[in-house]
Amino acid sequence: MTRFQKHTSFVPFLFLLLFASIFVLGCDSVSDTEASGGDWLISQSEVVDGGPGKDGIPSVDVPQFDPVSATSYVADDRRVVGIRIGNEVRAYPHQILDWHEIVNDVIDGVPIALTYCPLTGTASAWNRTLNGSVTEFGTSGLLFRNNLVAYDRKTDSNWSQMQLRSVNGSNSGLTAETFLVIETTWKTWIQMYPDSEVLTRNTGFSRAYQGFTYGPTYSTDPSQILFPIKNHDGRLGRKERVHGIFPKGEDPKVYPIKIFSGGVRLIEDRIAGTDYIIVGSAEDDFAVAFEVGSGTGSFSAVQNALPVVLEDNEGNRWDVFGTAVSGPRAGERLKPATSYTGYWFGFADFFPGLEIYDN
C-alpha cells in the first residue's frame, strides 16, 4: 500500500512501509522511454521514479473554497500557503497540498498553478499561461533530488519545481512566471487574513486530510528524507526552513527563518547588483522578500500589526504581500523578489555552496 491509494486513516506501520517501498522504487533512474523524449537540462540519471506514476498524485483541478469562518479542519500549528492576486486572497493548507501537490486555480481572472513539494517543503505559484495559451499542470511521477517534477498538460513538458523552469520537452528552458506566496501557520494566517478563502476538502478524492501524509515528524526529523542526497551541507540542519532569493542568472541566497526572531524583523541586502528587503518573523513562521529600486525610500519593520509589516519614510504602511494599505501610495505594490521557502537540505542539494545570510 502507498499513500497514493484512497484511505481514511493513518497507520504508523503503513507509513514505515511507505518509506521502504518509495525508496526502492525511487532508486531507479528514468530512461527516455519512461518520460517525455529529448534532452534534459538536468542530469537524467538523477531523475527518478517516485512510485505513483504520472498523475498518481492527482492535482486538484476544480478547487472549492470556504471562508475562514467555515474552516474547522486546520489546526493552529499546521501550515498553509497563502496568495493574493488583485483583491482575492486565498490559503491552501499543507494538509491538502501534501496529497495533491498541485492546485490548478483561477484567481482574479489569472490562471495559476499552486505547486507544493512536501519532500523539500517548497511552494510556488506559477502563471498557467504559457506562450499565449492556458495549460494545466500535473504531477509527472518523477523526482529530481527529492523535488517535484511537474508537467504541463498542453505540451507534456517536464518542469523542475525548485528550478522554476521546464527541463525537458518542447518548453525546455522556459522559466515560470511566479507570484508571491506566503507560507505560515494557520494561526498566523487567520490573524492576518480572517476574511480570506480557504481550500476545502471537497477535492473529488478521498484522503486523510486531517492527518499527516508523511507522518507527524517529517517536517522536523532530519533523518526522514526519502531519497538520497547528492550534495550534503552541514552548515544548517537538514530540515531547517530557509527563505531563498533567486537573482536573475545567479544561484540563490538563503535567509534562515530562525534569524527573524524577536518580532517582525527587516533585513536589507544587495545581491548581484539588486537591492532587496526581506521581512519575516520566526515566531509567526514566515519570510517574504521584495526588490527595491533607487528612490524607493527607507523602510522599517512594524510590530504587532499583522498583516502590516513595513512602514516607509513617506508614512506608507505595507502588508506581507507588499501592498500599501495606507499612506500616499495606498494601493501600490512592491515588486516581489523571485523567492520561496523550503528545507535547507533541498536548497543545498540543488545549489551546492550557495550563500547563507550572516547576521
For 89-131, how does the pLDDT look when each residue is reduced to its tens digit (9 = 90+)?
A: 999 999 999 999 999 999 999 999 999 999 999 999 999 999 9
Query: Is 127 found in the same domain as 275?
Result: no
Please tell me the predicted confidence (pLDDT) of residue 35: 44
**Of the residues 168, 199, 230, the one at which a domain ends:** 199
Query: Is 253 found in the same domain as 181?
Result: no
Query: Is 245 found in the same domain as 195?
Result: no
Q: Give the bridge partners for 137, in sequence order.
A: 152
Spatial contact of 229 and 257, defined as CB atoms under 8 Å apart: no
Domain assignment present for 47: yes
Please tell me the predicted confidence (pLDDT) of residue 295: 67
Q: Which of 130, 133, 135 is nearest to 174 (CA)?
A: 130
Query: Is 97 found in the same domain as 194?
Result: yes
**Of the residues 180, 199, 218, the one at which a domain ends:** 199
Query: Is 25 found in the same domain as 171?
Result: yes
Please tell me the predicted confidence (pLDDT) of residue 133: 97
Going from the C-alpha of 191 to that of each of 67, 185, 194, the distances in angstroms are 14, 10, 6
Query: Is 185 found in the same domain as 291?
Result: no
**Of the residues 172, 199, 226, the one at which a domain ends:** 199
Helix, strand or coil, per DSSP, at residue 220: coil
Spell out where 200-248 has E strands. 241-245
Domain assignment present for 226: no
Q: Supply the pTM of this predicted model.
A: 0.90
Query: Is 21 found in the same domain as 158?
Result: yes
Domain assignment present for 205: no
Domain assignment present for 130: yes
Domain assignment present for 154: yes
The residue to which cell 507534456 is assigned: 156
Domain assignment present for 21: yes
Domain assignment present for 57: yes
Q: Give the bridge partners for 287, in sequence order.
A: 280
Q: Are strands 181-185 and 79-85 parallel, antiparallel or unpaired?
A: antiparallel
Q: Give the bridge partners for 245, in sequence order.
A: 253, 339
Q: Give the bridge partners for 168, in sequence order.
A: 40, 158
Q: How far apart are CA 203 and CA 103, in angstroms?
A: 10
Query: Is 261 found in the same domain as 127?
Result: no
Neighbours of 322 (CB within 10 A): 22
Please tell me the predicted confidence (pLDDT) of residue 3: 36
Query: Is 179 found in the same domain as 253?
Result: no
Domain assignment present for 33: yes
Q: Which domain does 344 fall in, by range? A: 241-356
Query: Is 252 found in the same domain as 185?
Result: no
What DSSP designation does 262 have? S
Query: Is 116 found in the same domain as 24?
Result: yes
Helix, strand or coil, per DSSP, at residue 245: strand
Q: How many domains does the chain contain in total?
A: 2
Please tell me the predicted confidence (pLDDT) of residue 38: 66
Q: Is the peptide bond before 228 cis (omega within 30 degrees of 0)?
A: no
Which residues, given as ranges, of the chain have pLDDT below 50?
Answer: 1-27, 30-36
Query: Is 178 found in the same domain as 61?
Result: yes
Q: What is the CATH number of the domain that holds 309?
A: 2.102.10
